[in-house]
Chain A
Amino acid sequence: MRRTLLAAALAAFASPAAAQRLAADVDCKPARQALVYDCRIALKEAASRKPVAGADVSVGADMPSMPMAHNVKPVKAAPTNQPGEYTARIELEMHGEWALKLNVRSPVRDVIVKKIDFRERP
C-alpha cells in the first residue's frame, strides 16, 4: 500500500511519457435478443490512422445522466480477421444514449469514449 501511494505521489509531479493516442470507429448493430448489441470496433492510431492489431480492449458503457446507476459491465473485445478490428457483444439495461468506453490496455494504454444513441427497433 505504502509503495503504491509512493508511486502515485512520484507520478503526480513527473513529466508525462510520450503517450500514443488511439482513435476508434464503432458500429453497433442489434442482435436477436432485446437490448443486446454486437459492436464492431476499428481501432487505429490517432495520428497516422494505421490500424492497431493485437490490442487488449474491453468495452463498457455508462448512461451519461446516471453513470453510477446504469452501466454495462466491461466485456473483452475479440479480434476479427481484419487488422485492427474487434467485436464485442454488450447488453444494455435500456435504450437511449450511452457513452461507450473502450479501455485499451495494450499495446498502448488509452481510453476512448464514444457516444452512441441506441434506439428501440421500430
Chain B
Amino acid sequence: MDEYALGVLTNVGLFSFLALSAYLLLVAGEMSFGQQAFFGVGAYAAGIGTAMWGWPLPVAALGAMALGAAAAWLVGWPTLRLRGLYFAMATLAAAEMFRILFELFHYQRTIDGELVGPDGTQGFRGIRWVLERGIEQETFLAAVWALLLVVLAAFAIVERTRLGATLRMVGEDPELAAVLGVNVARVKLGVAAAAGALAALGGALYAHHNTYVEPRNFDIMLGVHSLAYALIGGLGTALGPLLGVALDIGLLESTRVFQGYRMIVFGGLVALLLIVRPRGLLDEVAVSRIAGALRRRRTA
C-alpha cells in the first residue's frame, strides 16, 4: 500500500474516535460542537508525555484519556444544565477557550540539542515517539484500527446492557427517564466524561501520527466535522459514525478534481442528509430492519 493510501486509512481511523465521541453524546440527547477540544487535550497531553517526559505511548495515551475525561467533566458540569441549542453553543465557546489556551501554552525543553514542546501558536513539533521506535506506517495503522475495534466492541456490549437502554432512554425522553428513577444529570455527566476520554485517545494517536500539532488543528471546523460524521453515518449503531467518516473522507479524496470547492460538496451532503434522514443513514429504523433481516435469514 502506498504512503497516501496509508495516510487516508489512518486518518479515517483517527477521526473515527472523534466521531464516536460526538455520537456518544448525541445518543444521550446532547449535540456538542466542542469535542475537538478534548481531541486537542489528548494530542497535547500525550505529546508532552512521550516527547518531553519519555513515557511510552500507551501510558501517555492513558494519561491523555484521563485528562480528556476530566476536562470534559469540567465543561459538562456547568453546561449540561443547558438544553438543546444553548448547550451546543456553550460547548462551542468552551472549545474556543481551549484553543486559545493552547495558543497561550508555552512549555519547552531542550532534547538532543533541539527545543521540544508546545510553543503557543507555533505549535508542538517533535512528537517523534513512533519514528524513534521504527514503527512503520502499516504497523501504526493496524494499531489504530485494532484500538478502534476494541472501542466498537465496548459500544456493542454496552448497547446490549441496561446501561445502553438507559442511555437511549435519557437521550430520547429525559423527563420519562427521570420519572423512572434515572439520575439524568449524573448519566449525562458520565457520558460527557467518557466522550472526552474517547476524543482524547483519538487526539493522542493523531499527534503521534502527524508528529506535529498546533492550536488551529482543533478549531470549529473539526467540531463541525465530528458532529457531521455521526449525523451522516447515523445514530442507530456505533458503526454509523465510522460510515460517516469513511463517506466524508472518501468523498473529499475522490473529488480532488474540484480542489477547494470540495467543501461545498461536503456542506451540501450534510444539509441534504439532515433533511432526508435527520438521524443519519444507519438510524434506529434502518438498524432494526437490518437486524430483523439477518435474524430471518438465520432462522430460515
In the bound complex, CA of A58 to CA of B114 (Å) = 23
What band does the interface of chain A fall in when counting residues whose beta carbon is under 8 Å from B? 35 or more
Q: Binary interface profile of B, 129-146, with partner A (CB < 8 Å = 1, else 0)?
A: 101111100111011001
Whether B98 is near chain A, meaning CB under 8 Å from some CB there, is: no
User: Would you call A46 and B131 a contact (CB within 8 A)?
Assistant: no
Closest B residue to A17 by CB, please name it.
B134
| The one of B3, B57, B135, B146 that contacts A74, using a Cβ cutoff of 8 Å | B3
Q: Tell me the B260-281 residues at the A interface (CB within 8 Å).
A: 260, 262-263, 266
Known contacts A8-B139, A12-B56, A58-B3: A93-B225 contact under CB 8 Å: no
B212 at the interface (CB under 8 A from A): yes
- Complex: chain A residue closest to B132, CB-CB: A16
Cβ-defined contact, B260 with A17, below 8 A: no
Q: Check if B139 sits within 8 Å of A7, measured CB to CB.
A: yes
User: What is the CA–CA distance of A46 and B260 in the complex, to the nearest angstrom?
Assistant: 35
B30 at interface by CB-CB < 8 Å: no
> Which of B128, B132, B143, B262 contacts A8, CB < 8 Å?
B143
**Is A19 a contact partner of B128 (Cβ separation < 8 A)?**
yes
Query: Given A19-B131, A68-B11, A46 and B3 touching (CB < 8 A)?
Result: no
Question: How many B residues face the partner with a CB closer than 8 A?
Answer: 46
Q: Which residues of B contact A69 (CB under 8 A)?
A: 221, 225, 252, 262-263, 266
Inter-subunit contact A47/B113 (CB<8 Å): yes
Provide the bound-state CA to CA distance between A70 and B256, in Å.
Answer: 10
Cα distance, A22 to B216, chains bound together (Å): 25
Instruction: List residues 234-252 of chain B with CB under 8 A from any CB of chain A.
Output: 248-249, 252
B217 touching A64 by the CB < 8 A rule? yes
Chain A 8-35, CB-CB to B under 8 Å as 1, else 0, gives 1001111011010100000000000001
Interface centre among B56, B112, B131, B262 (most CB of A within 10 A): B131
Decide if the interface of chain B is mainly helix, strand, loop or mixed.
Answer: helix
CB-defined contacts of B260 to chain A, threshold 8 Å: 70, 93-94
A84 to nearest B CB, angstroms?
Answer: 19
| Residues of chain A contacted by B131 (CB below 8 angstroms) | 19, 109-111
Q: Is B168 an interface residue (CB 8 A)?
A: no
Known interface pairs A19-B128, A46-B114, A113-B125; A64-B216 also in contact (CB < 8 Å): yes
Residue A113 contacts which of B7, B57, B212 (CB distance < 8 angstroms)? B212
Residues of A within 8 A of B129 (CB): 16
Does A39 touch B at the CB level, under 8 Å? no
Contact with B along A84-121 (1 / 0, CB 8 A): 00000000011000010101000001110101000000
User: Which 3 pairs show the lowest CB-CB distances between chains A and B?
Assistant: A16-B132, A113-B212, A93-B260
Please report B residues at the A interface, Cβ cutoff 8 Å: 3-4, 7, 11, 15, 56-58, 112-114, 122-123, 125, 128-129, 131-135, 138-140, 142-143, 146, 210-212, 214, 216-217, 219, 221-222, 225, 248-249, 252, 256, 259-260, 262-263, 266
What are 24 A-B contacts defined by CB distance under 8 Å?
A: A1-B142, A8-B135, A8-B140, A8-B142, A12-B58, A13-B58, A17-B133, A21-B112, A35-B259, A64-B123, A64-B214, A64-B216, A67-B217, A68-B222, A68-B248, A68-B249, A73-B256, A74-B3, A101-B212, A109-B134, A110-B131, A111-B128, A111-B210, A115-B123
